[in-house]
């Protein structure tokens, strides 16, 4: 029996999860800090690390209690060590190091982006290689070809804003509440995408750019072209999803992948999820919304592959705020 306890604290969610045999989720606890940061309209790093400090222990205890196993039953302790906010990452990494050392269990350091990808291994069927993953989060927008476990080729990514960042900025411009992504999605449901906003196709590359779109929406609000936030949200969401979907499908065909995987907070967006369903001939994996946004279950799923290869960290594991996937 393999039991991995994973801890995630890279941004504004303190999370812990226990995964059995790489597949069966025994617990998945997420303590969100939305109420703290919404006053400021964005994540305040200092406030985030303080909140992690307060919640990390109860969150771990709750995850273990819900899993119904003892600490000694654990096969390993896994933790996100980057990318993310340094002060936030430190809380999780120190908790994991202390636990692993105290229990005499292996420690596994996980890249947060790799974690997002591995949400797709928590579904009923496993993805087939080669797979293409569209990673769309608050800090990242990447198209990654996955040839095997841990074998990545980055085909392209954003040249400026990440998709989630664009959602958050557009939401602010439209006067919608924090957090931006879910607000845009909700507003768009009652709006019409009548405004044709620019799409940066960046032809013959798998790169993305969302800064022009952001400027266009600012201008449209200033010029009075957007009469209500709902229509603005619908137009913006359509422009982002259009580019993400078409470029991903193009890469999927070119690289003859067996599956497309969606990952990251923006993959929670229903317009994006449904857009793929309607247009793709390749099977698209869409993790449940709870596994798209930050959690520790996907960190445990990524850690399981490292456990099998005995890729363990030692007590010198440090946070790496700018950690890259490739
Ligand atoms: O992956 P994630 O939870 O954290 C990072 O690793 O960044 O992604 C957070 C991002 C935020 O920008 C948030 O606005 C966006 O994902 N997001 C969404 C939705 N839910 C979260 N964007 C669009 N539609 C959503 N439903
Ligand atoms: Zn994330």
Q: Is 142 in the pocket of ligand 1 (CB under 6 A)?
A: no
Strand partners, 197: none
Atom of ligand 1 nearest to the CA of 180: 14
Q: Which atom of ligand 1 is nearest to the CA of 112?
A: 6
Between CA 167 and CA 182 the distance in angstroms is: 9
Q: Which of 34, 80, 167 to mutate to test the pocket of ligand 1 (most atoms within 8 A of CB)?
A: 167
Indicate if ligand 1 lies below 6 Å from the C-beta of 137. yes
Is residue 87 lining ligand 1, measured as CB closer than 6 Å? no
Q: Whose CA is nearest to atom 21 of ligand 1?
A: 265
Residue 39: what pLDDT?
Answer: 87
Ligand 2 mean position, distance from CA 259 (Å): 21
Confirm or reject: Cβ of 109 under 6 Å from ligand 1: no
Would you state the pLDDT for residue 6? 99
- Answer whether 22 contacts ligand 1 (Cβ < 6 A): no
Whether the bond between 257 and the residue before it is cis, its omega within 30 degrees of 0, is no
pLDDT at 116: 98
CA distance 7 to 14: 8
| Distance of CA 266 from the midpoint of ligand 1 (Å) | 4
For the chain, where are the alpha helices, taking DSSP H only? 34-37, 45-67, 86-103, 112-118, 163-173, 180-189, 211-222, 229-254, 270-279, 289-292, 297-308
CB of 138 shorter than 6 A to ligand 1 = yes
Ligand 1, atom 8: closest residue by C-alpha:
265
* DSSP helix, strand, coil percent of the chain (3-state; round to 5): 45, 20, 35
Q: Rounded CA gap, 105 and 197, in Å?
A: 53
Q: Which of 173, 293, 321 to mutate to test the pocket of ligand 1 (most atoms within 8 A of CB)?
A: 293
- Kind and range of the H or E element at 103? helix 86-103
Q: State the distance from the centre of ligand 2 to the C-alpha of 226, rounded, in angstroms.
A: 31
Cα 72 to Cα 7: distance, rounded to the nearest angstrom: 17
C-alpha torsion sign, points 234, 239, 242, 244: negative
Atom nearest to 264 CA in ligand 1:
1
Q: What is the pLDDT of residue 84?
A: 98
d(CA 236, CA 168): 11
> Tell me: the pLDDT tens digits for 85-131?
999 999 999 999 999 999 999 999 999 999 999 999 999 999 999 99
Query: Which pLDDT belongs to residue 17?
Result: 99
Q: How much is the pLDDT for 302?
A: 98
Any atom of ligand 1 within 6 Å of the Cβ of 287: no
* Interval between CA 309 and ligand 1 midpoint (Å): 31
Query: What ligand is nearest to the CA atom of residue 162?
Result: 1
Q: Which helix (H) or strand (E) holds 37?
A: helix 34-37
Residue pair 301/19 in contact (Cβ under 8 Å)? The answer is: yes
- Ligand 1 atom nearest the C-alpha of 271 is 24
Question: Which stretches of the chain drop beneath a pLDDT of 70?
Answer: none
Whether the full predicted model's pTM is greater than 0.75, yes or no, is: yes
Nearest to 132 by CA among 298, 249, 240: 249
User: What's the confidence (pLDDT) of residue 228?
Assistant: 94
Residue nearest to atom 14 of ligand 1 (CA): 181
The CB of 178 under 6 Å from ligand 1? The reply is no
- Residue 8 φ then ψ, to 5°: -135, 125
Q: Which residue, judged by its Cα, is nearest atom 19 of ligand 1?
A: 181
């Amino acid at each position: 029996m393999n039991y991995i306890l994973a801890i995630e604290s890279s941004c504004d969610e303190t999370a812990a999860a226990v995964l059995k045999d790489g597949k069966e989720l025994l617990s998945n606890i997420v303590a969100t800090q939305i109420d703290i940061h919404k006053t400021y309209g964005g994540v305040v790093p200092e406030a985030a690390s303080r909140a992690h400090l307060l919640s990390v222990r109860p969150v771990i205890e709750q995850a273990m209690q819900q899993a119904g196993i003892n600490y000694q039953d654990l096969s390993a302790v896994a933790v996100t060590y980057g990318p993310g906010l340094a002060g936030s990452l430190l809380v999780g990494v120190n908790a994991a190091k202390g636990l692993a050392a105290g229990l005499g269990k292996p420690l596994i350091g996980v890249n947060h982006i790799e974690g997002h990808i591995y949400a797709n291994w928590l579904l009923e069927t496993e993805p087939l290689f080669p797979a293409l993953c569209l990673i769309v989060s608050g800090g990242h927008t990447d198209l990654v070809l996955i040839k095997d476990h841990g074998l990545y080729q980055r085909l392209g990514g954003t040249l400026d804003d990440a998709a989630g960042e664009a959602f958050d900025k557009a939401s602010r411009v439209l006067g919608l509440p924090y957090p931006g992504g879910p607000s845009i999605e909700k507003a768009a449901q009652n709006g019409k995408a009548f405004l044709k906003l620019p799409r940066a196709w960046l032809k013959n590359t798998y790169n993305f750019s969302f800064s022009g779109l952001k400027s266009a929406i600012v201008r449209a609000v200033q010029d009075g072209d957007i009469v209500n936030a709902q229509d603005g949200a619908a137009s913006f969401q359509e422009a982002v999803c259009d580019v993400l979907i078409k470029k991903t499908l193009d890469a999927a065909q070119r690289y003859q992948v067996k599956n497309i995987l969606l990952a990251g907070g923006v993959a929670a967006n229903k317009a994006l999820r449904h857009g793929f369903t309607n247009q793709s001939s390749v099977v698209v994996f869409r993790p449940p919304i709870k596994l798209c946004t930050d959690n520790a279950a996907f960190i445990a799923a990524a850690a399981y592959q490292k456990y099998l290869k005995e890729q363990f960290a030692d007590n010198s594991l440090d946070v790496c705020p700018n950690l890259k996937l490739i």
